[in-house]
């Protein structure tokens, strides 16, 4: 539930344990995310928090993000979600602002699809991070270590 706040998603991912490897886990998580109903997606989105700003973000950036978030929530009825990918911390504000501004032009159904995909990507990232934090190997045996 900490990776994606959906009881059915969590149940489906847990039901198929143990997974032989990280790829199998992520494939199951993806499949469960793709199967969310509109109501389940709404519930998962409602549990999300606004993306955090990096420490030291300027007041002007905070103000711009607050205004953009408010416009997004007014238009779509839920918080803005975006997977940060490999965005450098110093570029996070620009990436979030760019994402909100570009997605504000989506119609509500199109944005629902985009938000669902971003939520799926966030769940994958959270699963991978939690496994790494728990001391599990999150790379393939012959793959380079993260950051190398």
Integer angstrom CA distances of residue 64 from 67, 72, 120, 122: 5, 12, 26, 23
Identify whether 44 is part of a domain. yes
Identify whether 74 is part of a domain. yes
Q: Which two tokens stand for residue 26?
A: 């992520």
Average pLDDT of the segment spanning 109-119: 96
Identify whether 37 is part of a domain. yes
Identify whether 139 is part of a domain. no
Indicate which CATH number applies to the domain containing 93: 1.10.3330.10
- In sequence order, which residues have a C-beta less than 8 Å from that of residue 102 and are 6 or more positions away? none
Quick one: pLDDT band at residue 119, thresholds 50, 70, 90? very high
Record the pTM: 0.82
Identify whether 112 is part of a domain. yes
Quick one: pLDDT band at residue 118, thresholds 50, 70, 90? very high
Q: Which of 98, 102, 97 is nearest to 64 (CA)?
A: 97
Identify whether 99 is part of a domain. yes
**Does 17 score more than 50 pLDDT?**
yes
Q: What's the per-residue H, E or C state across 65-95? A: HHHHHHHHHHHHCCCCCCCCCCCCHHHHHHH
Give the tens place of pLDDT for each residue, 71-101. 999 999 999 999 988 888 778 888 899 999 9
* C-alpha to C-alpha distance for 1 and 10, rounded to whole angstroms: 6
Number of domains in the chain: 1
| Torsion angle, alpha carbons of 131, 137, 142, 146, to 10 | 60
Identify whether 146 is part of a domain. no
**Does 136 score more than 70 pLDDT?**
no
Identify whether 147 is part of a domain. no
Write out the residue range of the structural domain in which residue 57 sits.
Answer: 7-133
């Amino acid at each position: 539930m900490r990776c994606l706040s959906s009881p059915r998603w969590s149940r489906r991912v847990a039901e198929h344990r143990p997974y032989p490897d990280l790829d199998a886990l992520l494939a199951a998580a993806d499949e469960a995310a793709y199967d969310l109903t509109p109501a389940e997606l709404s519930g998962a989105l409602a549990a999300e928090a606004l993306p955090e700003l990096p420490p030291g973000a300027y007041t002007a950036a905070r103000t711009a993000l607050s205004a953009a978030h408010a416009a997004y929530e007014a238009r779509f009825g839920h918080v803005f979600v975006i997977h940060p990918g490999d965005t450098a911390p110093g570029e996070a504000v620009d990436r979030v602002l760019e994402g909100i501004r570009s997605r504000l032009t989506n119609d509500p159904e199109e944005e629902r699809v985009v938000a669902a995909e971003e939520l799926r990507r966030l769940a994958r990232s959270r699963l991978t991070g939690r496994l790494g934090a728990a001391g599990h190997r999150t790379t393939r045996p012959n793959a380079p270590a993260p950051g190398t």
